[in-house]
Structure 1
Amino acid sequence: MTDEALLTLDQFQAAQARIRGVAAHTPLVSLSFSGIAGEAWIKDESKQPIGSFKLRGAYNKIAQLSDDQRRRGVITYSSGNHAQGVAYAARAVGAKAVIVMPSNAPEVKKQATAALGAEIIEVGPASSDRKLKAEELEAKFGYVMIPPYDDPQIIAGQGTCGLEILEDLPDVDLVLSPVSGGGLLSGVAAAIKHLKPEVRVLGIEPELAADAQESFRGGKLVSWPAEMTTRTLCDGLRTQSLGELNFLHVRAFVDDILTVTEDQIRQAMRTLYAGGLTPEPSGAVTTAAVLFHQTELLPYRKVVAILSGGNVEPEVLRAILADR
């Protein structure tokens, strides 16, 4: 895969126009953190209609399907948030949606996906399991695949989050994005760097699922086994490898990838909740970096930490808030 596959600014701006009125322009929330070097904002993607950023990419792709493709219906594989994005977008254009989900996906995400009218098929916990099953059903029934991250239209949609950050805080100099398969990080980094190459963009992931950091720093795409990535509390960040197109964008536009511990993620969730936000674990990794990795983030004056979603199971949130 060559640099010719890199998305252009025009593609991100076209996606922004396409999703307007369906996906929300989410707010930047200013939070005061003690002991940090600059000012901090949270880009609150929990305010999307489905509670996460995933609607951006899913709708950008599904809105471009032909009438024949819509009649055939769409399929994807997801642990939850992309599932809801595809279900929501498919319903908006009148298409059937089939979602292959892992057996260990949070119940709140399964229920929300079903409530949007999607047909759910469960498989084992490995991200490879659900991808293989979705491809099998795609071939059998003629569904149109809506990949969760490794797709130019998905990346373009997710990158609109970065365009909004620059619109709302033009003098931002550091942006932090969660990273799993790489859709959000690759899109945000590319969109921002096209407009303001001086802004630093970092990916943040759990150290228990640090395949992206290993890939980035080693310069070669690696995959971690499911028994390793499923250890993390962050159900949305358990993908075993970056996508190939995502990795190309990450290498071209991202400055570094940092990792945070499970305890740091829990503390970040408590801090965000105290600030009036409801984070899911996957969305809190960026705030964990702000709270506990100041030295690695410097230098900066204004940082935006993307809170990628708020679809947390109530009992998980209660347990984390109670464990102080």
Structure 2
Amino acid sequence: MTGEQLAITLADVEAAAAVVAGKVLRTPMIPAPRLSALTGAEVFVKHENMQATGSFKERGALVKLTRLTEDERRRGVIAMSAGNHAQAVAYHARRLGIPATIVMPEATPLVKVENTRAHGARVVLFGETLYESAERARALASEEGLVFVHPYDDPAVMAGQGTIALEMLADVPDLDTLVVPIGGGGLFSGMAVAAKALKPCLDVVGVEAMLYPSFHNAIAGSDLPIGGPTLAEGIAVKTVGTMTLPIVRALASEIILVEEAAIERAVNAYATQQRTMAEGAGAAGLAAMFARPERFRGRKVGLVLCGGNIDARLLASVMVRELERAERIVSFRITTSDRPGLLGRVASRLGELGANILEVSHGRLYLDVPAKGVSIDLTVETRDAEHTRAILATLEAEGLAPRRVDARGLIETP
């Protein structure tokens, strides 16, 4: 740590812990043997997705709201958020009888917009990015006399998020590594300040989406491009916090950038291996372990599953994509002579080989098919990649010459 004065201290986090005690869930810290087997580390998961609004954001929001004056409470609060901070502010504002307005980007997932409204907040959809939403929120705050509740660049918010680290180290004192997602830096800052004060030797690793390397750029002096559609929209932040940057710079041992494929794999792993819901940002820590397994192998790692507000259709899409990557779902085309009963025989043969047919298309009008020929496009589910290869090899040996169809619908060359 440098000698620079940081925005919060361990005492601030401990004071915040007294505020949140009994008001937000003390979430469980659960051993994750299946994730440990996948990563080669001993993994423990802090399930912040079990909070009433589905994310850790409740902690910082509650601490901030309880520090308002009576006049500020009467006038009300305003926040900008892609979803989780919005829900947290709305939820606890209603509990405390404080009027709340939330400005959200227009592309915010519908589940987060509706959940925020359900907590009684006035929702204003504005702008394509959080930056544009923030500008609108500040304008409304000025026009209507509202208190702006920043999602990360606020000492009260950071201290509230830091209570997660206190609980993690209380539950598993011999952790040697924490892996924490970084968006604007509020979660990382609060947790790092608390964790490093309690255990200076702790390795605290930050994680950003590859498409939004804001802190990486600021700290490394690099100029990687920022922007684009990411599954981890909760950490898709273009501008680092002025209060959080010095903390991340001082206390992060490393910032790992993760590709979208790793984030998708992590979301799927939480669903299939840990049996729990994780949004993209919530799964970023596990994604870093998948991206850099050698960095964590043999270590005792604490992960923060910081949010579980993922749209059901998106989760379904991610899980299917992972099945395709694992070659447990495969598409292929058979082109052969058009004979009565052909489709039934192919279907029966696939059943004998243990494949489950998900989709089939029977075509005679393609110009690359002989006039007396037929093409059959099939999508099947198999046990694993080896099973897939065995099925295709059997069909090839039986003269059906299957050709793989890739993810874009193009025929792969033999």
Q: Normalization by structure 1: what TM-score?
A: 0.94
**Deviating 4+ runs (over 4 angstroms):** none
Query: For residue 281 of structure 1, what is the aligned residue in structure 2?
Result: 280
AA partner of residue 168 (structure 2): I
Q: Which has the higher contact order (CA 8 A, sep 6+)?
A: 1
Q: Secondary structure at the match of 1:25?
A: coil
Instruction: Judging by fraction of residues, say which structure has more helix.
Output: 1
Aligned CA-pair RMSD: 1.6
Structure 1 distance, partners of 2:24, 2:6, is 26
Query: For residue 296 of structure 1, what is the aligned residue in structure 2?
Result: 295
Aligned-residue offset at 1:4: 2.8
Unaligned runs of 5+ in 2: 324-414
Q: Give yes or no for contact 1:180–1:241 (8 Å, CA) kept in 2.
A: no
Q: Give yes or no for contact 2:217–2:224 (8 Å, CA) kept in 1.
A: no
Aligned-residue offset at 1:60: 0.5
Query: For residue 82 of structure 1, what is the aligned residue in structure 2?
Result: 85
Structure 2 distance, partners of 1:266, 1:245, is 31
CA shift digits 1:259-284 (9 cap, x unpaired): 11111111111111012111011111
Q: Does residue 56 of the first structure (1) align with residue 59 of the second (2)?
A: yes
Q: Does residue 4 of the first structure (1) align with residue 2 of the second (2)?
A: no
Aligned-residue offset at 1:6: 3.1
Q: Give yes or no for contact 2:40–2:296 (8 Å, CA) kept in 1.
A: no
Aligned-residue offset at 1:12: 0.3
Residue pairs, 1:17-96, within 5 angstroms: 17-31=18-32, 32-33=34-35, 34-96=37-99
Structure 2 distance, partners of 1:120, 1:281, is 23
Q: 1:233 to 1:36 in 2, by over 3 A?
A: closer
Larger radius of gyration: 2
AA partner of residue 280 (structure 1): E
AA partner of residue 284 (structure 1): A
2:126 to 118, 123, 126: 123
AA partner of residue 199 (structure 1): L
Residue pairs, 1:179-218, within 5 angstroms: 179-218=182-221
Structure 1 distance, partners of 2:4, 2:174, is 28
Q: Give yes or no for contact 1:44–1:306 (8 Å, CA) kept in 2.
A: yes
Structure 1 distance, partners of 2:21, 2:301, is 25
AA partner of residue 89 (structure 1): H
AA partner of residue 231 (structure 1): P
Q: Give yes or no for contact 2:179–2:285 (8 Å, CA) kept in 1.
A: yes
Unaligned runs of 5+ in 1: none
Q: Give yes or no for contact 1:19–1:59 (8 Å, CA) kept in 2.
A: yes
1:254 to 243, 252, 258: 252
Q: Secondary structure at the match of 2:152?
A: coil
Aligned-residue offset at 1:124: 1.3
Structure 2 distance, partners of 1:230, 1:66, is 40
Does 43-52 or 231-240 show the bigger shift?
Answer: 231-240
Structure 1 distance, partners of 2:83, 2:73, is 22
AA partner of residue 246 (structure 1): T
Aligned-residue offset at 1:37: 3.5
CA shift digits 1:16-71 (9 cap, x unpaired): 01011121111112212335343001111101111000001000000111111100
CA shift digits 1:204-260 (9 cap, x unpaired): 111111122222223x9x896xxx424212111111122010001111221111011
Residue pairs, 1:99-118, within 5 angstroms: 99-118=102-121
Query: For residue 261 of structure 2, what is the aligned residue in structure 1?
Result: 263
Structure 2 distance, partners of 1:223, 1:153, is 31
Structure 1 distance, partners of 2:23, 2:172, is 23
Structure 2 distance, partners of 1:72, 1:161, is 30
CA shift digits 1:140-194 (9 cap, x unpaired): 1100110010010010001011111111100000000111100101111111001
Q: Give yes or no for contact 1:216–1:256 (8 Å, CA) kept in 2.
A: no
AA partner of residue 248 (structure 2): V
AA partner of residue 273 (structure 1): A
For these two proteins, the number of residue pairs brought into alignment is 317
Structure 2 distance, partners of 1:124, 1:133, is 8
Residue pairs, 1:302-313, within 5 angstroms: 302-313=300-311
Structure 2 distance, partners of 1:106, 1:252, is 34
Query: For residue 395 of structure 2, what is the aligned residue in structure 1?
Result: none
Structure 2 distance, partners of 1:143, 1:115, is 21
